Structure 1
Amino acid sequence: MFRHCLRSFLAACVVVMAGVHPALAQTLTIAWPQNVGTVNPHLYSPEQMFAQAMVYEGLVRLGDDGRIEPALASAWTMSEDGRRYRFTLREGVRFSNGDPFDAQAVADNVRAILENRARHEWLALIEQIERVEAIDARTVEFVFKSAYYPVLQELALVRPMRFMAPSAFGADGGTRNGIRAPIGTGPWKHVETRLGEYDVFERNDGYWGKPAGYQRVVVKVIPDPTSRAIALQTGEVDLVYGMGGLLAPDAFEQFRRMPGYTATLSPPYEGLSLALNTAHGPTRELAVRRAINHAVDKDTLVASVLHGSQRRADFLFNRNVPYADSVSLTSYAYAPARAEALLEAAGWLRPRPGAVREKDGARLTVELLYTGTDGVMKSLAEVLQADLAKAGIGVALRAEEAGSVQARMRDGRFGMVFNRTWGAPYDPHAYVGSMRSPSHADYQAQRGLPEKAALDADITRVLSTVDEAERRTLYARILRTLHEEAVYLPLTEVGAIAVARAALGEIPFAPMSSELPLARMQPPSGEARR
């Protein structure tokens, strides 16, 4: 109890030091595992995406209904061949330092992004850009090397195609080596950081759109999920929102039942699956991959490990993903007997009851790679190990630190590995497009397929065709191939959690998993904030 009191006292001190008067200011305090970084809109980790989205905006944005809406651009047109997009910029927009937002600022930002083109190779939009021209102060034109249908979707992403004041670029006149200050057009300004403790955002009172309800947001750095739950209970923070294990599933369930708190789950954003390596080990065999799909009891996994905080998935993409919603596929039902029959027919036999199956002197053992510091992932891995053991499939668990896991995913040193789709507006096009890159686990998982070259050719074509009917046909063929070849074991559909003090009212969900809806939240009426 003393520790909790001390923690609360120190938290109040932090807010006061950040310039927040406890009786007058309207401050929302949230928890996050780490500091937000320098808030450079054109770089990646350790830059935190939600912070980039608070400060910077794109020409367009993703609406709540999943459609692309105007943002810094008020209108746009596309040429008949799909290679030119001309944007009319919104009038009267200024950066938070007072600089005007105009076509030249857009062109300067795109130049800075293209100077670091290799870092953005995962995003096909960047490679497609031939040039960007400022036609006049309020008109900018993008010219692409070829037609690329997801232009607007990728312009809506949190990074890298968002815009900062060119006067705040780094000393080299660009952004790839750092920036002078995080100056954007968005509803928030990043005003203070203390490493390992907190970040502070203030409302941008010169924002062109609807102003944020809160004056300040304090982001407290709390690395551990259990500590984040305690911080909610003690009042140290008001809200925990997001994905990726911010709270343990059992803690989320406890908050659901606890008076004085709201705990809600968003519609699914992403899909969690295991990628099965078709070029390495026993999973080279289709029968083994299909048996794995039939051997896992997903409903029990969701109930026992995740406490209902995620939903069972039967396909790589959630059914609310464009183009995936119209593809007719038959799910791999939980059928242990079917799994065993597939393995028997493929020659994988048990040397004795309960033993791991063998064929030609080789044991049917598959390595499952996961991040060792992720407690939920560890629990999922252990449940999967137990389920597959019943079918005679041995699973060797390999827990490594996150960087090592990423390295192994890039070069294919895995048997099975946890993998997630990216959510709107990336899915399906950006995720599918990345399957052609050898640095992605999906490419490595698919590398052993005889039809890999044809699959990649279909992906290239689906991204460039301007014929909607052809696009649907190609997506259907791509997704059917991946499903019938059992390259993935779909596990769950993953949403964001929002756990807050009940006084905050209903917490809205952002349309993208990488954003937090902080600008849309309103302080409780009449409540004095600390």
Structure 2
Amino acid sequence: MRRRTFLGAAAGAAVSALAKPSLAQPAKVLKFVPESDVAIVDPVWTTATVTRNHGYLVFDTLYGQTSDYNIEPQMVAGHTIEDDGKLWRLTLREGLRFHDGEPVRAQDVVPSVRRFAARDAFGRALMDATDELSAESDRVVKFRLKRPFPLLPAALGKTGTSMPCIMPERFAVTDPNKQVTEMVGSGPFRFKADERVSGALTVYEKFSGYVPRPGGSASFTAGPKHVFFDRVEWRIMPDPSTAANALSAGEIDWWQNPTPDLLGVLKRKAGVKIEGLDPAGGIGCLRFNCLHPPFDNPAIRRALLGAIDQVEYMTAVAGDERSMWKDHVGVFSPDTPLATTAGTEVLVGKRDFEKVKRELAAAGYKGERVVMLDPTDYPSTHALAMVAADALQKCGMNVDLVSSDWGTVVQRRASRQPTDKGGWNIFFTYLNGTNNFDPASQLGIRGNGDQAWFGWPKSQRLEELRAEWFVAKDLAAQKAICAEIQKQFFTDVPYIPLGAYYEKTAYRGLTGMRNGFAQFYDVKPA
């Protein structure tokens, strides 16, 4: 037996013993209703936000992001920069351990970063600038760069999907195109696979071996993460009324995303609090599959811009409560430094479906079946699908609305097969939070074909503009490039933005919650 394996087993046994709550005290349990079930548990393999949220219980990241979007060291104690910005050394904090008791080493970090970068746009940009990534010692990771890449900490601490999590080496070497199914992280909670009930329950247990970062800003994903509950139970409740009743009765503690129509009822319940969760919001997204007809034709995608009114979509999601949505939304989050409204006027105002029908015919649409994936267990996303199905049918498109749960959508959207072999033409989602702040992380604007996000569009010009943004000299130059990116986006139309939605969250008897998305450290009984 290798020494590391032996020591790891011994430490793991000790950690396991420590992790068990005292028999003299009942376990403190936080009961939470998430946005959906966790169909995929690998937060690198999928961009599903529910899996990202799961990932932040189980794993940790090298850097964290504060609520004002600054990047701070998290798993690293710090870093040094030499050779005019082309040599970085990242030193891991002492005392980091995985849930099996093994120490976290630089040898775990290197394949973890490589696997993450193979699936993530920002991570791939970092690796494109990297000449050598290696473990200089057990605690020191070395990046030797081809050219300066000052955004290195931001790439390794990004809060959007995919998550830049650090896995044990034996899992991190897994082919990026294959899912990791065994969850061993170094985060504040352990994933209890033995208690998981698909479609009903996911359980996390406090990891007593977790050492919070000393100092730093305890906000968003950064700083010390303290755990005050022995268990976190994700209870799956697809029916909003059931979740609302459970929260009102005190059967659950926290409902991640109550539907807008129930907010008024919940506000009147004693002890229930309603707050905003992600100040950056989520941009509704009608995503095209660019591999197969009819949406392999950019002219057909462009024609459909005239069928989409963002106000109609956001009203379907959140009604007339304007504090919960915005229109004139492009590819970058509203009210952020790089946001622009260039070209968004095409998505607002009265629609002329007969005109769109003529433009579709002129572009070459021949009545092909359009398979549209509709996640019925996500009310805010289901609303997008229903409005779109009606609009496309009015334009003369042959819509086949396929309803299922979100987990099934997540699995099916990864298929590159034609529709008669289980593929798809359109799916809906929200591009959330800091994913949409700049071209580094924005999933939907990539035009790199097989390496792009689900839908796999090709656009050499979008790729060129994105590369220009990385070397822009100042904010003014970045803004100018982002305006050009958005103009090109509305020519290529890899997806259609449907407006920005700002979800609320509802809870009772809790305090200390971080903003950005559902996280479970610092949360304690009120």
TM over 0.5: yes
The 3-state SS of whatever aligns with 1:520 is coil
Q: Which moved more, 1:408-417 or 1:154-163?
A: 408-417
TM-score by length of 2: 0.71
The whole-number CA distance in structure 2 between the counterparts of 1:121 and 1:486 is 18
Match of 1:508 among 501, 510, 513: 513
Report the alpha carbon displacement of residue 473 of structure 1 after superposing the two structures with TM.
3.1
Preserved contact between residue 75 and residue 93 of structure 2 (Cα < 8 Å):
yes
Change (3 A) 1:30 1:155: same
Superposed counterparts of 1:42-441, under 5 Å: 44=46, 48-78=51-81, 82-91=85-94, 93=96, 100-101=103-104, 105-111=105-111, 114=114, 123-125=123-125, 127-128=127-128, 129-135=130-136, 139-148=140-149, 150-157=151-158, 161-164=164-167, 169=170, 182-184=184-186, 186-190=187-191, 193-196=194-197, 197-202=201-206, 204=208, 206-209=210-213, 210=224, 212-226=226-240, 227-241=242-256, 247-266=258-277, 267-275=279-287, 280=294, 284=299, 288-293=303-308, 297-298=312-313, 300-304=315-319, 310-320=324-334, 323-325=337-339, 331-332=345-346, 334-336=348-350, 339=352, 344=355, 348=358, 367=370, 369-374=372-377, 376=379, 377-386=381-390, 396-399=399-402, 401=404, 402=409, 405-407=412-414, 416-425=426-435, 427-428=437-438, 429-431=440-442, 435-439=446-450
The whole-number CA distance in structure 1 between the counterparts of 2:310 and 2:172 is 57
The whole-number CA distance in structure 1 between the counterparts of 2:429 and 2:330 is 10
Deviation digits for residues 49-107 of structure 1 (CA, Å, limit 9, x no counterpart): 32321232222111110111121224334456654322244455555666555xxx123
The whole-number CA distance in structure 1 between the counterparts of 2:367 and 2:211 is 60
Change (3 A) 1:174 1:21: farther
Equivalent residue for 2:219?
Answer: none
User: Percentage identity across aligned positions?
Assistant: 17
Change (3 A) 1:271 1:35: closer
Question: What are structure 2's unaligned runs of at least 5 residues?
Answer: 1-19, 214-223
The whole-number CA distance in structure 1 between the counterparts of 2:172 and 2:385 is 47
Preserved contact between residue 61 and residue 157 of structure 2 (Cα < 8 Å):
yes
The whole-number CA distance in structure 1 between the counterparts of 2:389 and 2:472 is 43
Change (3 A) 1:172 1:332: closer
CA RMSD of the aligned region, Å? 4.7
Report the alpha carbon displacement of residue 348 of structure 1 after superposing the two structures with TM.
2.7
Q: Which amino acid aligns with 2:143?
A: F
Preserved contact between residue 60 and residue 166 of structure 2 (Cα < 8 Å):
yes
The 3-state SS of whatever aligns with 1:153 is helix
Q: Which amino acid aligns with 2:166?
A: F
Preserved contact between residue 33 and residue 236 of structure 2 (Cα < 8 Å):
yes
Preserved contact between residue 189 and residue 201 of structure 1 (Cα < 8 Å):
yes
Preserved contact between residue 269 and residue 494 of structure 1 (Cα < 8 Å):
yes
Instruction: State yes or no: 1:475 paired with 2:476.
Output: no
Preserved contact between residue 370 and residue 417 of structure 1 (Cα < 8 Å):
yes
Change (3 A) 1:78 1:425: farther
Change (3 A) 1:126 1:499: same
The 3-state SS of whatever aligns with 2:141 is strand
The whole-number CA distance in structure 2 between the counterparts of 1:230 and 1:394 is 40
Report the alpha carbon displacement of residue 124 of structure 1 after superposing the two structures with TM.
0.9
Q: Which amino acid aligns with 2:483?
A: A
Deviation digits for residues 439-493 of structure 1 (CA, Å, limit 9, x no counterpart): 478785855xxxx322222223334566665444322211122246666442232
Preserved contact between residue 112 and residue 165 of structure 2 (Cα < 8 Å):
no
Change (3 A) 1:78 1:36: farther
The whole-number CA distance in structure 1 between the counterparts of 2:166 and 2:134 is 15
Instruction: State yes or no: 1:499 paired with 2:513.
Output: no
Change (3 A) 1:415 1:440: farther
Equivalent residue for 1:15?
Answer: none
The whole-number CA distance in structure 2 between the counterparts of 1:223 and 1:318 is 32
Deviation digits for residues 304-336 of structure 1 (CA, Å, limit 9, x no counterpart): 4x9779413322335457553367555336432
Match of 1:29 among 28, 31, 55: 31
Report the alpha carbon displacement of residue 28 of structure 1 after superposing the two structures with TM.
1.8
TM-score by length of 1: 0.71
Preserved contact between residue 62 and residue 76 of structure 2 (Cα < 8 Å):
yes
The whole-number CA distance in structure 2 between the counterparts of 1:173 and 1:319 is 33
The whole-number CA distance in structure 2 between the counterparts of 1:523 and 1:154 is 34
Deviation digits for residues 330-379 of structure 1 (CA, Å, limit 9, x no counterpart): 53364327x46xx65x8939xxxxxxx97799788994712254463444
The whole-number CA distance in structure 2 between the counterparts of 1:213 and 1:230 is 27
The 3-state SS of whatever aligns with 2:507 is strand
Deviation digits for residues 123-180 of structure 1 (CA, Å, limit 9, x no counterpart): 41574344334445654321245555543222014655433566xx469999988698
The whole-number CA distance in structure 2 between the counterparts of 1:248 and 1:225 is 10
Report the alpha carbon displacement of residue 521 of structure 1 after superposing the two structures with TM.
1.5
Q: Which amino acid aligns with 1:421?
A: L
The whole-number CA distance in structure 2 between the counterparts of 1:334 and 1:437 is 29
Question: What are structure 1's unaligned runs of at least 5 residues?
Answer: 1-17, 350-356, 525-530
The aligned length equals 474
